[in-house]
Amino acid sequence: MTKNTKIPAQLSTALDYHFLTCSAVVTGAVVILPTPTASGSVIFSGIHNLAVFSTTVNGGAYFDVEPPFGTSQGPTRVNGWELNPYNFGSAIYLNANTKIVLTGNVASNLPANTLIDGSLTFSGTGFYGGVEIPQGSTGYVGFQFDPDGIAGVQTFYGWAQMKVGGGASGNGNVISWAYDDSGAPIRAGAVPEPGSLALLALGAAGVASWRRRPAA
């Protein structure tokens, strides 16, 4: 009896999807994956190191926290932008098209692993003010926003990691950002769990080889 080793089409499609994901993990590429249907997940920008120049020179930096993560450096605003950090003197200030976690009247410098949820103090929409991160340091700014297209229906919580001083511009950098697309709280610095993707990456070559075997 000939043993049938052909993979069903649905499984084959799933494996192809996993290979694409694993490739992104190995190469460091940012791949826009389909939105999960069962539950939300952390959407991570990848490492951008977006230089924050002086607003008097070119308007700082603008970035859209939602995929495809539009960014610009200078006075040109990207569509759907949420955050616009800029340098003034020795500090970074923030112009936000969303709500920012506050300490007093400035954007909080959140320690890594801080839970960002509705219990924190947020600014009103359209925050404009200083950032608590001191010169020469890296910290996290927390925010909440309504996703594009469904404003007022769902609130997402997120973080942006910023460096004040140094960096590519001499003024500072936006290193990366993330949010949870289920509306769940998120911890400052949290990114998608690498464990399962790493396991997939380790097994990808073996499974791909198995798929190429001719039927016995």
> Rounded to whole angstroms, how far apart are CA atoms 100 and 135?
20
Locus of tokens 């198995």: 210
Which is nearest to 89 in space by CA: 120, 50, 131, 124? 131
Share in percent of the chain as helix, strand, coil (round to 5)? 20, 35, 50
Per residue in 88-136, pLDDT (tens digit) is: 776 789 999 999 999 999 999 999 999 999 999 999 988 999 999 988 8
Question: Is the pTM higher than 0.75?
Answer: no
> Rounded to whole angstroms, how far apart are CA atoms 131 and 146?
22
> Rounded to whole angstroms, how far apart are CA atoms 51 and 8?
48
Per residue in 29-76, pLDDT (tens digit) is: 333 333 332 235 899 999 999 888 776 666 788 999 999 999 998 888
Neighbouring C-alpha atoms within 13 Å toward the C-beta of 15: 16
